[in-house]
Amino acid sequence: MTSGEDAPLTRVLLARAPEDRRDWLREWPGLEALLAGHLSAGEGAWPTVKLTPESFLRHLARHLPAPGAPEDALRQLHAADLYLACACAEGEPQALLAFEQHVLRKVPARLGSLPAATLDEVLQMLRQRLLLGVGGAPPRIADYAGRGPLLAWVRIVAARMVGAMSSQNGRQELFSEPPEALDQLLAPDNPEREVLRADSSEAFSLALRAALAALPERERALLRMHHLHGLTMDRLATMYGESRSSIARHVAQARERLLRLTRHELAARLKLEGRELESLLGLVRSRLDLNLGGMMD
């Protein structure tokens, strides 16, 4: 019978654990059996999710209780939820679908009486904040440590979002894109952009920002995730639990609405019409078409 540091799961965990936790783990009686139980709980709860034991143990090592924590802290982990969160952080498609169906869909009922539009905005932001990494950082769901139910943890995140949305500043922080992100929609590598007068370029950015703000939150979220974060139609379909063709249609509709709103804003701001206005609009249209090309075939 394999035991101690020679046990395969224990060996992986010790290799990944912070140095100040290793002696504590080495002294743990029955650690291998405990780890096997946690792994089995995750695999049993989510049989369609593909996650290697090494990935799960690496994730578990990040969230080990501090030395001196109660002995039951490691035993009482919500292992199945931790397993799902780990797989979601890795972008595993079946995990994302399970998170949508078994966690996100239960959040609105736990937020009290809120307008349907507000609940929809919160769900969109949860998908982005929890499931997308920003600036090379892992998705925020990787921060879930398994100390309590995953649904309760997500509900707390959602409640904080609702609180932030109660003020105008909060809504601005949650739903506005920084100028450098908007620049990605304006094709900064396009030489045509360089010939725009400075005042036209600024008006274009303002028009696009206003158009984005006027979009329904679902459409804004889809464009943000597809164009700014680079999620494919397949990934979006998995996250939303819809077919690829349905998601592709929603993204195309959102893009066309964005273009119509941008055209209206530009016409009002620059007092342009006809060919000159369409020339400016062509910049954003070509960028969006380029990004969508090949993904909707």
Q: How many domains does the chain have?
A: 2
Q: Which two tokens stand for residue 297?
A: 């075939």
pLDDT of residue 239: 78
Residues 6+ apart with CB under 8 A from 102: none
Residues 6+ apart with CB under 8 A from 209: 176, 177, 182
* Any domain includes 176: no
% pLDDT > 90, the chain: 22
Q: State the average pLDDT for the chain.
A: 76
Q: How distant, in Å, are the alpha carbons of 185, 188, 190, 200 from that of 194? A: 15, 8, 8, 11
pLDDT of residue 135: 64
What count of other Cβ atoms lies within 10 Å of the Cβ of residue 242?
A: 15
110 and 191 belong to one structural domain:
no
* Any domain includes 31: yes
253 and 283 belong to one structural domain:
yes
Say what the pTM is: 0.62
Q: Are 49 and 94 in contact (CB under 8 A)?
A: yes
* Any domain includes 127: yes
Q: Are 96 and 84 in contact (CB under 8 A)?
A: no
Higher pLDDT, 46 or 197: 46
Q: Which two tokens stand for residue 105?
A: 């869909």
60 and 110 belong to one structural domain:
yes
* Any domain includes 174: no
Q: pLDDT confidence of 216, banded at 50, 70, 90?
A: confident
Out of 95-99, 133-137, 272-276, 289-293, pick the least confident. Answer: 289-293
Residues 6+ apart with CB under 8 A from 188: none
Q: Which of 114, 141, 168 is the last residue of a domain?
A: 168
Q: pLDDT confidence of 41, banded at 50, 70, 90?
A: very high
Average pLDDT over residues 96-118: 86
**Distance between CA 283 and CA 297 in Å, rounded?**
22
Average pLDDT over residues 142-165: 86
Is residue 77 pLDDT above 80, yes or no? yes
89 and 158 belong to one structural domain:
yes
14 and 144 belong to one structural domain:
yes
pLDDT of residue 102: 93
Amino acid at residue number 94: Q
* Any domain includes 21: yes
161 and 213 belong to one structural domain:
no
Q: Which of 121, 136, 168 is the last residue of a domain?
A: 168
Is residue 214 pLDDT above 60, yes or no? yes
pLDDT of residue 50: 93
Host domain of residue 87: 9-168
33 and 112 belong to one structural domain:
yes
